[in-house]
Amino acid sequence: MAKAPQRHRARWRHEVASFGYAIQGIREALLSEPHLRFHALATAVVVALGAWLHVSRHDWALLALAVGAVWAAELMNTAIETIIDLVSPDFHPLAGRAKDVAAGAVLLMALAAGVVGLLVFGPPLWDKAVALNGHP
């Protein structure tokens, strides 16, 4: 009977540790990947702009999904590039193709996130610009 709670605790510790590994992976990627640092800066700008414009909860949800998708795509791209560098340290056309496709996925997601940003921030920024120019 005592084995079940011990197994449960061991599993729980393993699950908690896996979060630590995930956070470590994000940290390592931030330290080694300039594009991810750019995404971190862009995330800070999105959060600051959203706070300044007092966007709705719905808009925050859209922004969070867009930002999270870009981060996830960039992290997957980094993982793919790392694996390719491990298994194919010399140039190979298929390795290059895989890297290009993974980078293309990041670009596509970043463009989609940009569209979300324009749709969410465009109207309130336009309203502020019009108000600054003295128009009703």
The domain limits of the chain are 1-32, 33-132
Does 16 count as an annotated binding residue? no
Is residue 4 predicted with pLDDT exceeding 80? no
Mean pLDDT on 63-91:
96
Q: Which residues are identified as catalytic?
A: 74
Does 99 count as an annotated binding residue? yes
Residue-wise pLDDT tens digits, 21-50: 999 999 999 999 999 999 999 999 999 999
The pTM score is 0.84
pLDDT value, residue 136: 58
Neighbours of 109 (CB within 10 A): 19
pLDDT value, residue 125: 96
Is residue 99 predicted with pLDDT exceeding 90? yes
Q: Which CATH number fits domain 33-132: 2.40.170.20, 1.10.287.3610, 3.60.150.10, 3.30.1330.10?
A: 1.10.287.3610
Does 111 count as an annotated binding residue? no
Give the C-alpha separation, 81 to 85, whole Å.
6
Give the C-alpha separation, 2 to 40, whole Å.
46
Does 100 count as an annotated binding residue? yes
Does 55 count as an annotated binding residue? yes
pLDDT value, residue 25: 94
